[in-house]
A and B are shown apart, each in its own frame.
Chain A
């Protein structure tokens, strides 16, 4: 995988959720994503950014344009400073929420992405990486 360009944005406040959405949209448009693909990756970014704030006490996201074997895509890596997740499998279940939300953030973001990875050992914060290919 080659990184073509990357930027890092803070994810601390609900205004940052909006700025992350806008940055992701800009790159998705640059990459020539279809409108549906743009909408999917922006929505996934919005869910993960809000999760990082509500559950992780904030953090950052690295938004990266990548290439692999002639394909180009968008990679988003969210890292927060929170307590991590004790039971990742349970957190990935639709409807499971510890914050009174709908419990669709992680599972929904996974469905809206082509690749999804999560590292969330207790005590080290949570890191979620998603990729959507063009």
Chain B
């Protein structure tokens, strides 16, 4: 069966969506990622959507679900690389994707996850800004 590959890299899970996903494939990815977070103990998930030409309400909801499920499993999700035209359309569609952290590209997304992990390692949620 067709599947979107999930890579593990320096303690994070990395997904790059390179195909025009039909709905079952999106649901499969949601299930696979949730299971991989649990089995791998990864603390961060990075989803690269720079190749996606559209994000409709179904894919938007999948991204929001992944972010919510990963949070429950003590991992953080960052969605990176959204095309400007996709962002414009998503907002006009009425989807604000609350609870989904985003970054412009993979580098910034990685930096965000690393910063969260570093902050988490101190054992305090409220790390003072120095």
Contacts and interface: CB of A to CB of B under 8 A. Distances in A.
Contacts of B84: 36
Interface residues of B, number: 24
B25 to A, nearest CB: 8
Contacts, number: 71
B83 to A, nearest CB: 8
A105 B57 contact: yes
Contacts of A36: 84-85, 88-89
Contacts of A18: 20-22
Contacts of A47: 56-57, 93
Interface of B: 20-24, 53-58, 60-61, 83-86, 88-90, 92-95
Interface of A: 14-15, 17-18, 21-22, 25, 35-36, 38-40, 42-43, 46-47, 50, 94, 101-102, 104-105, 107-108, 111-112
